[in-house]
Amino acid sequence: MSDPRINDRIRVSEVRLVGPAGEQVGVVAIDQALRLAREADLDLVEISPGSVPPVCKIMDYGKFKYEAAQKVREARKNQVNTVLKTVRFGLKIDDHDFETKVGQVRKFLKAGDKVKVMVVFRGREQSRPEMGVRLLRRLSEGVTEFGIVESNPSIDGRSMVMVIGPLKNKAEARAEAKKAQQKAEPASATEDK
């Protein structure tokens, strides 16, 4: 985005002027608008160059640029990136270990992250891919309330891969976690008394 034109760079005969407090002054000649801006010890900034006549506002240009930069920085801070987490296990996984892995996948999906689930085949296990599909299907059924299968199981070298996406995006998950934390804080404060 290019910087707006200010003061003497505005090359039109008349402008629609907005005062320093946001009040509408009306359509005035450019030299009168510049004079009003100088009297207020502020800048004349072109807000809407596309309109006829262009809209200009009397304001402190340095403060305007600073606030715009703050908004951009705040937007960047609130931006969230979905992370692809990986969970690996073998074909001969024990039931308890499998439940632990399902718990991990649930935790990642609750946080709004995608999960890449890999079943690693060793030796002769490669000749039995249907067992890997069965294991991945069992896992996907265990996490249906938190995520959906985005890519069905596929063979990738010595492993079988499946991607599960969260039902809630990262921002929604973060907001929900914050809300739960705020509910928990007053409850723990009343228990302490």
Task: Kindly state the percentage of the chain with pLDDT values over 70.
Answer: 91
Q: Are β-strands 24-29 and 43-48 bridged in parallel, bridged antiparallel, or unpaired?
A: unpaired
Residue that wins the pLDDT comparison between 11 and 77: 11
Closest-CA residue to 87 (of 143, 142, 162, 169): 162
- How far CA 83 is from CA of 28, 76, 88, 100, 165, in Å, comes to 54, 17, 16, 21, 10
What confidence category does residue 124 fall into, taking pLDDT thresholds of 50, 70 and 90? confident
| Cα 180 to Cα 160: distance, rounded to the nearest angstrom | 36
- The pLDDT value recorded for residue 190 is 58
| Cα 45 to Cα 42: distance, rounded to the nearest angstrom | 9
For the cut 80, the answer to whether the pLDDT of residue 118 exceeds it is yes
Residue that wins the pLDDT comparison between 128 and 98: 98
> Which residues, at least 6 apart from 115, have a Cβ–Cβ distance to it below 8 Å?
84, 85, 86, 87, 105, 108, 109, 147, 163, 164
Q: Helices (DSSP H) in the chain: which residue ranges?
A: 30-39, 61-78, 95-110, 129-142, 170-192
Q: Are β-strands 114-120 and 14-18 bridged in parallel, bridged antiparallel, or unpaired?
A: unpaired
Q: Angle at the Cα of 121 (from 116 to 122), degrees rounded to 5? A: 145
What confidence category does residue 80 fall into, taking pLDDT thresholds of 50, 70 and 90? low
- The pLDDT value recorded for residue 189 is 59
CATH architecture type of domain 7-61: Roll (3.10)
Annotated domain spans of the chain = 7-61, 84-169
The pTM of this model reads 0.53
Q: How far is CA 123 from the centre of its chain?
A: 43
Residue that wins the pLDDT comparison between 83 and 27: 27
> Which residues, at least 6 apart from 72, have a Cβ–Cβ distance to it below 8 Å?
none
| Cα 135 to Cα 123: distance, rounded to the nearest angstrom | 18
Closest-CA residue to 112 (of 155, 176, 166): 166
CATH assignment, 84-169? 3.30.110.10
Sequence letter at residue 103? G
- The pLDDT value recorded for residue 147 is 87
